Structure 1
Amino acid sequence: MLKSTMLFFGFILLMVSQGNSQKLTATPFAKNISAIKFLGEYNIPFNLKYKNTTVGGLSGIDYDAQNKLYYMICDDRSEKNPARFYTAKIFITAKGIGSMRFTGVVNMLQPNNTVYPNNKQDALHTADPEAIRYNPVTKQLVWSSEGERIVRATDTVLENPSVIAVTAKGKFKNNFQLPANLTMHATEKGPRQNGVLEGMSFADNYKTLYVNVEEPLYEDGQRAAVEDDTTFIRILKFDVASKTNTAQYAYKLEPVAYAPNPVTAFKVNGVPDILSIGKNKLLVIERSFSTGRLACTIKLFIAQLENATNIKDVASLKEQTNFIPVSKKLLLNMDSLGIYTDNIEGVTFGPRLANGHKTLVFVADNNFSPLEKAQLLLFEVIE
């Protein structure tokens, strides 16, 4: 996720609207997306209060089609309120998002049934929530935490990332078994701070869970730059039944879209979310930010995993170059829409429109900053 310390604006999600919900049906996936059409945006008020919590930092979204309910995870590290997700109703029309209404807030609980502490209370067990998906087969949710990597002369905090299954009431069920290359280290090995488990999607009728790291592992190369430096992240495939990692794939990031101002200031490009759109196919969000620009550049790609090399046993992509990466094709650069796009961090299929077309709903994380938008974007899927 883009933290507020990155000197920019992020984006927040959340949106629910009231309308002709009886005319809408479920959207499982879309195999042959040719284009997506922008229908509208919805902005949630800054620091909105809901059930004694502050709404913001919405970094993941998913849709329960049967109950017409959206789940949105908050990336608050229990600093404002304990780690949590929200439920909401978003009613849409062919003209966009009409309104939104929150329907609940749920704390994710630790295995001992207590809420997660903040970093002042217990830095080694503080959750950093990022992605969330609902499994209608098990009626459970899966969410990811980025963990922590702080290496200083005075103190070091190393907390591994995690993928956790919980009930709809937030009660801990179990963990997915993460591979060794996602272990945090004090040396430059493994994941970078704030660049770990950002995106997630069920696939194969909920038998598969894909998870991606936002930025390259240290041993896989440097972070994205303005010039093309062949930067790869990893997309990890998990078997849902055994909760084990069965494959990993290399995905090549685009360069950072714009040079920062000043040129030595912070810049980043990474993958904040993925969404299954058919067998071995993912919709991938790339979000680029450069200091000096208020907006992010959001590019959407269709990625095909079928012919990509399984690099699960490849320790370093810098040292091993004999692999086939995921193929990708640009679907949309949101810069072309002529709208302001904030820190988009989540995407889900929504309900169908009255014309039968599927929809996509994107959410932006505002990092609890008054300079950033709590933004939802709605698109019609053209097949």
Structure 2
Amino acid sequence: MKKIRFFLLTIATAAITSCASTHKVTTATANNFGQLRLIGQQIIPHNMPFKGTVTGGLSGIDYDASRQQYYMICDDRSELAPARFYTAKLYFTAQSFDSVRFTNMTSLLQKDGSTYPGAKVNPALTPDPEALRYNAKKGCLVWSSEGERIVNARDTILTNPGVYEISPDGHYLDSFALPPAFRMQATDNGPRRNGVFEGLGFTPDYRYTFVSLEEPRYEDGPRADVGDTTAIIRIIKFDNNTRQAIAQYAYRLEPVAHPAIPANAFKVNGISDIMVLSEHQLLSIERSFSSGVKSCTIKVFLVNIDQATDVSQINSLKTATGVKTVTKSLLFDFATLGKYIDNIEGVTFGPVLPNGHKSLVFVADNNFSAAEESQFFVFELVP
């Protein structure tokens, strides 16, 4: 989901920086997953030109160990350039994060091999790219779109969200079956606008794909709010062989972290990405933003779905009884860094560090706004 730009506070224009602080910045650890130690931070310049496009809107990231490169999807809805993803190299050690270098740009292609049109050309076919993962077993990529839902007196545009399999050069291969509960509707039913398929990830054996909604469906209850713990979203489990959904799980969101200024201005909390650790365990990123508050509130949770109810046959979580939601425990709160944190929307494991510890990489979507930053954070996962 994109933050509403005209509510943002002005901050310094982004420039390349590095942070080599290595003090521990952890909150509670969870189930022996480990502790996060900040290695460093980089910020790419605002609207940095690359291969005929401007960079920004980085909404998902994944690491390809065989090529030692990162894939990053851009959430430009074919407005500044056709919908696309980038590849990049990140240069870091256990002691410092030195630089980010973009290496290529690839357009996302429709079934007929053409690029996706922008809303001014054909809004019904305009995608809203949000997540991207590389399937090393099949040698392909999978990306998600939030679709579109515009219902007003002048027009009605309903474009379903989707999950798509593509080749590394962007060509369409296939799509995952969309359960009826996630089809866009003109009435207050189904998914909310900009609150749909924001995160996805594969199990380590590539047998399953998990896809997370950002915000609750209308039937599942209200959006997150300050002091309100009733907002529940769904996580969908797909079989990668059939591309069919085989289960859904309920996930209770944290409240919105801060009141908006003014009180009736835009505010949100939802899942901006997930990373799958096993068939039963995920990492989730909850991103809270309130107009008039400089930083986003970014919290990373360790999630367990082992005892959660399969809610795929339940239409309304708001009225259902006896549903066991997933359990989650706070792994890390970005507020502990004591610095400006932007709209973090992507997470991936990076390469194993020379000391044998895993690295964890986060990326922030700047919404192509000079008031925001395209941030990269690299952490060491300390056992």
Alignment of 1:227-266 (within 5 A): 227-266=227-266
Contact 2:3-2:289 within 8 A present in 1 as well: no
Which structure exhibits the higher relative contact order, with contacts defined as CA atoms closer than 8 Å and separated by 6 or more residues? 1
User: 1:229 offset after TM fit, Å?
Assistant: 3.6
Structure 2 residue aligned with 1:174: 174
Structure 1 residue aligned with 2:380: 380
User: 1:37 offset after TM fit, Å?
Assistant: 1.1
- Residues 1:216 and 2:213 are matched in the alignment: no
- Residues 1:306 and 2:309 are matched in the alignment: no
Residues in 1 aligned to 2:198 and 2:249: alpha-carbon distance in whole angstroms: 16
Contact 1:70-1:87 within 8 A present in 2 as well: yes
- Residues 1:357 and 2:357 are matched in the alignment: yes
Contact 1:10-1:344 within 8 A present in 2 as well: no
Residues in 2 aligned to 1:134 and 1:165: alpha-carbon distance in whole angstroms: 10
Residues in 2 aligned to 1:95 and 1:204: alpha-carbon distance in whole angstroms: 28
Alignment of 1:289-368 (within 5 A): 289-368=289-368
Contact 2:61-2:363 within 8 A present in 1 as well: yes
Contact 2:5-2:369 within 8 A present in 1 as well: no
Alignment of 1:260-275 (within 5 A): 260-275=260-275
Residues in 2 aligned to 1:349 and 1:166: alpha-carbon distance in whole angstroms: 21
Q: Which moved more, 1:120-129 or 1:91-100?
A: 91-100
Residues in 2 aligned to 1:141 and 1:9: alpha-carbon distance in whole angstroms: 36
Structure 2 unmatched ranges of 5 or more: 19-29
Contact 1:235-1:250 within 8 A present in 2 as well: yes
Report the 3-state secondary structure (helix = DSSP H, G, I; strand = E; otherwise coil) of the residue aligned with 2:206: coil
- Residues 1:147 and 2:147 are matched in the alignment: yes
Report the 3-state secondary structure (helix = DSSP H, G, I; strand = E; otherwise coil) of the residue aligned with 1:120: coil
Counterpart AA for 2:61: I
User: 1:96 offset after TM fit, Å?
Assistant: 2.9
Displacement over 6 Å in runs of 4+: none
User: 1:3 offset after TM fit, Å?
Assistant: 3.6
Residues in 2 aligned to 1:141 and 1:177: alpha-carbon distance in whole angstroms: 16
User: 1:353 offset after TM fit, Å?
Assistant: 1.3
Contact 2:204-2:277 within 8 A present in 1 as well: no
User: 1:6 offset after TM fit, Å?
Assistant: 6.8
Report the 3-state secondary structure (helix = DSSP H, G, I; strand = E; otherwise coil) of the residue aligned with 1:157: strand
What are the Cα deviations for residues 17-62 of structure 1, in whole angstroms up to 9, with x where unaligned? 9xxxxxxxxxxxx984132111111000001000111101010000
Structure 1 residue aligned with 2:371: 371
Structure 2 residue aligned with 1:85: 85
Contact 1:10-1:367 within 8 A present in 2 as well: no
Counterpart AA for 2:131: A
* Alignment size in residue pairs: 369
Residues in 2 aligned to 1:130 and 1:72: alpha-carbon distance in whole angstroms: 10
- Residues 1:281 and 2:278 are matched in the alignment: no
Residues in 1 aligned to 2:31 and 2:223: alpha-carbon distance in whole angstroms: 31
User: 1:8 offset after TM fit, Å?
Assistant: 3.0
Residues in 2 aligned to 1:147 and 1:118: alpha-carbon distance in whole angstroms: 13
Residues in 1 aligned to 2:238 and 2:31: alpha-carbon distance in whole angstroms: 21
User: 1:69 offset after TM fit, Å?
Assistant: 0.8
Report the 3-state secondary structure (helix = DSSP H, G, I; strand = E; otherwise coil) of the residue aligned with 1:224: coil
Q: Which moved more, 1:109-118 or 1:221-230?
A: 221-230
Structure 1 unmatched ranges of 5 or more: 18-29
Q: What is the aligned-residue RMSD (CA, Å)?
A: 1.9
- Residues 1:207 and 2:207 are matched in the alignment: yes
TM norm structure 2:
0.93
Residues in 1 aligned to 2:193 and 2:5: alpha-carbon distance in whole angstroms: 12
Report the 3-state secondary structure (helix = DSSP H, G, I; strand = E; otherwise coil) of the residue aligned with 1:109: coil
Report the 3-state secondary structure (helix = DSSP H, G, I; strand = E; otherwise coil) of the residue aligned with 1:323: coil
Counterpart AA for 1:199: G
Distance 1:144 1:9, change over 3 A: farther
Structure 2 residue aligned with 1:76: 76
Report the 3-state secondary structure (helix = DSSP H, G, I; strand = E; otherwise coil) of the residue aligned with 1:336: helix
Residues in 2 aligned to 1:251 and 1:10: alpha-carbon distance in whole angstroms: 34
Residues in 2 aligned to 1:272 and 1:132: alpha-carbon distance in whole angstroms: 12
User: 1:204 offset after TM fit, Å?
Assistant: 4.4
